[in-house]
Amino acid sequence: MDIPKQAAEEISWQDFERTDIRVGTITAAEDFPEARRPAYKLQVDLGPLGIKKTSAQITKLYTPEELVGKQVLCVTNLGKKQIGKFMSEILVTGFADENGDIVLAQPASRVPNGSKLK
């Protein structure tokens, strides 16, 4: 695992404000066998933004069954990304643990779906 010794390049406050990070609840999770690296297809309820699809390489620490109902932090304004025959609409965020496996970024308490990170 590679942890940078210093922070990334400084950005302006306006740059940060353009990043739309919102909370959503995973409503469905299934295996994504066509992906090059082990991944799941997720559906995330982002409240007023609707249900969005994404792919996440989180198979080491989570099963599809335990993902349903979890709230996660998502970047919603990166644009769509084609992953094989699947179109990802958002980015679910997380952190690499000591083994390089992704731990989902989640709010400490439940908040309304679609709430924006401030």
- Domains (range + CATH), the chain: 17-104 (2.40.50.140)
Q: Which residue has the higher pLDDT, 88 or 35?
A: 88
According to DSSP, the residues that pair with 23 across neighbouring strands are 73
User: Do the beta carbons of residue 84 and residue 118 sit within 8 Å?
Assistant: no
Neighbouring C-beta atoms of residue 17, cutoff 10 Å = 9
pLDDT per residue over 49-86, tens digit each?
999 999 999 999 999 999 999 999 999 999 999 988 89
Hey, what are 109's tokens?
A: 């308490």
Q: What is the pLDDT of residue 1?
A: 56
Q: Which residue has the higher pLDDT, 25 or 82?
A: 25
pLDDT of 16 reads: 87
The CA radius of gyration of the chain, in Å to the nearest whole number, is: 15
Report pLDDT for 4: 64
The reported pLDDT for the residue numbered 96 is 95
Residue 103 has pLDDT above 60, yes or no: yes
Q: What's the pLDDT at 5?
A: 72
Name the pLDDT band for 2 (thresholds 50, 70, 90).
Answer: low
Beta bridge partners of residue 33, listed in sequence order: none
Predicted model pTM: 0.90
Selection from 58, 62, 59, 49 nearest residue 90 by Cα: 49
Q: Can you tell me the distance from the alpha carbon of 17 to that of 19, in angstroms, rounded to the nearest whole number?
A: 5
Instruction: Report the pLDDT value the prediction gives residue 83, as an integer from 0 to 100.
Output: 87
